[in-house]
Amino acid sequence: MGTLTVKENFSFSAALRLPPSVSQREKEEKVDRLIQELGLTKVTHSRVGTQLIRGISGGERKRTNIGMELIIDPPVLFLDEPTTGLDASTANSVLLLLKRMANHGRTIILSIHQPRYTIYRLFDSLTLLVNGKQVYHGPAQSALEYFSQIGYTCEPHNNPADFFLDVINGDSTAIALNSDPQDLDTETVSNSRRGIEERLVEEYRNCNYYKETKAELERIILGKETSTRPPFRTITYTTGFLTQFRWVLKRTFKNLMLNPQTSVAQIAVTTFLALIVGSIFYDVQDNQSGVQNRFGALFFITVNQCFSSLSSAELFIAERKIFTHEYISGYYRVSVYFLSKILSDILTLRTVPAMIFSCVAYFLVGFKATVESFFLFMFSVVLVAYAATSMALAISADQTVVAIANIFMTIACVFMMIFAGLLVNLPSIPVWLSWLKYFSIPRYGLTALQINEFVGLKFCGGQNISITIPGLSCTGEEFLEEQGVDYSKWGFWQNHLALIIMIIIFLSIAYLKLRFIRKFT
């Protein structure tokens, strides 16, 4: 959502969460009204912002997040620490906004850490927990009186919120005020902290607030069936697959286009590497040195495509929290999100760079000058990029740290590079290890590129070749035979088929990982 404007984020939420029965005009009116109510009129067309793009302020970003949830007019709104990362003034303005919403009949439940007094005064009800156990639930303005009755008095000019945290953590100055300072040694304080939790829980269970809450809960569940089984969570969607796909794909493409490090930089680096390869292997000749240079250039191109695809590791990791929130909120299906991310990444960051790389490197190196060979070269390079990207997604889909995913992918790429056909002669590998070559993406890519380039070439032109020199390959076919490469039609196309099968398998694994990762806490 970072590169989208405030209004675009609101429109995205309205398009996916409001039912089709609501007209587009009504959706736009609702968006404009919410922007005005949330005080975001001045930043309507400003980007929310990312780590690289400066956007709206922290308070405005919080209000934007809240507004996206208010699109559907929920009767109950849950917020997890809405003031985190905000300064005192901004935090106060956000809570004042929530208070106005509560005064208009909406129930707002939020967790908050150490609010200042002006924020604490806005609370109607207060719940305090210690190690998951409830030690108070009742009117916020009666909390100080309750703690005073059980022996914990808040000293003058102390913030009630700070006082409550000190009490439940055993660090309250109220404890010291009610004890002999000479008795407060380390062991006494430690024992006091261990006993405070039990005492607070016991005191609360004996007070009227607990009895009233328990009676209310019993009244609510009276006559309703109870089950010990975990609740089955069903996510409902108000819009269809195509509507979700259109909006999510539109947002994904816009985020990519407006993010320089994932679009312009990727193409620039690809072009630079292509120029480097073309300069090193410039204008290869049809002689014995040309055989080595061709083989080396093809190996570098194949391996480069594999390692360039490692950048896709963060495709699902970077937006994990956003995806989880929007999925469980009913914005879109997992399949919609998966297809949108795959299409946007493959088209913009894999296909275009691979095509540019092929166009630059192919003619600089001086590969076979036929139209058919050029397009088969490009097709093979693109397939290698797709397969490597799919593998990276399959590895990183369930990871939470990009660095860990990169380690796994680097190990896989290095391992596959060994069995590509350059570092070791594949026919010489022992039988008990030779089966590993079938899992090497670079092997399939390099084999296809070799067949496409070497078939039909001659490297002994003008020489007397009546005497066979050991290790000398005068034709491309002879060189391929030495490498153990089947250069028949089927031998060529089976590499592409293998890459397509690997792409399907890896993408299926990535989708299943995304589908079944833990989304509920």
Q: What is the pLDDT of residue 241?
A: 92
Q: What is the pLDDT of residue 369?
A: 84
Q: Is 169 left (phi over 0), alpha (psi -120 to 50) or beta?
A: alpha
Q: What is the pLDDT of residues 358-390, one digit of tens each?
A: 999 999 988 888 899 999 999 999 999 999 999
Number of domains in the chain: 2
Q: What is the pLDDT of residue 493?
A: 93
Whether 421 shows a pLDDT value over 80: the answer reads no
Q: Measured in Å, how far apart are the chain's first and last C-alpha atoms?
A: 23
Q: What is the pLDDT of residue 292?
A: 84
Q: What is the pLDDT of residue 93?
A: 82
Last residue within a domain, chosen from 73, 101, 128:
73
Q: What is the pLDDT of residue 233?
A: 66
Enclosing domain of residue 13: 1-73
CB 519 within 8 Å of CB 324:
yes
| Dist. CA 423–CA 314, nearest whole Å | 30
CB 251 within 8 Å of CB 48:
no
Confidence class of residue 505 from pLDDT cuts 50, 70 and 90?
very high
Whether 248 shows a pLDDT value over 90: the answer reads yes
Q: What is the pLDDT of residue 494?
A: 93
Instruction: Give a yes or no: residue 291 inside a domain.
Output: yes
Instruction: Give the distance, in angstroms, between the CA of residue 99 and the centroid of all CA atoms in the same chain.
Output: 33
Q: What is the pLDDT of residues 72-113, one digit of tens each?
A: 888 888 888 888 877 888 788 888 888 888 888 889 999 888
Q: What is the pLDDT of residue 502?
A: 94
Q: What is the pLDDT of residues 186-228, one digit of tens each?
A: 555 555 666 788 888 888 888 888 888 888 888 888 766 666 5
Instruction: Give a yes or no: residue 120 inside a domain.
Output: no
Question: Rounded to 5 degrees, what are φ and ψ at 271?
Answer: -65, -40
Q: What is the pLDDT of residues 445-501, one digit of tens each?
A: 999 999 998 888 887 765 555 444 555 678 878 888 888 888 889 989 999 999 999
Q: What is the pLDDT of residue 377?
A: 93
Last residue within a domain, chosen from 34, 51, 73:
73
Last residue within a domain, chosen from 32, 54, 73:
73
Whether 432 shows a pLDDT value over 90: the answer reads no
Instruction: Give a yes or no: residue 352 inside a domain.
Output: yes
Q: What is the pLDDT of residues 49-76, one digit of tens each?
A: 766 667 788 788 888 888 888 888 888 8
Q: Which 3-state string (H, E, C) describes 272-291?
A: HHHHHHHHHCCCCCCCHHHH
Confidence class of residue 260 from pLDDT cuts 50, 70 and 90?
low
Instruction: Say which amino acid occupies 61.
Output: R
Q: Which residues pair with 5 in a beta bridge?
A: 47
Q: What is the pLDDT of residue 459?
A: 76
Confidence class of residue 416 from pLDDT cuts 50, 70 and 90?
confident
Whether 436 shows a pLDDT value over 80: the answer reads no
Q: What is the pLDDT of residues 300-352, one digit of tens each?
A: 899 888 888 888 888 888 888 889 888 888 899 999 999 999 998 888 888 88
Instruction: Give a yes or no: residue 487 inside a domain.
Output: yes
Q: What is the model's pTM? A: 0.81
State the DSSP string of 4-48.
SBHHHHHHHHHHHHS-TTS-HHHHHHHHHHHHHHTT-GGGTTSB-
Residue whose tokens read 């939470």: 400
Question: Rounded to 5 degrees, what are φ and ψ at 136?
Answer: -165, 135
Instruction: Give a yes or no: residue 206 inside a domain.
Output: no
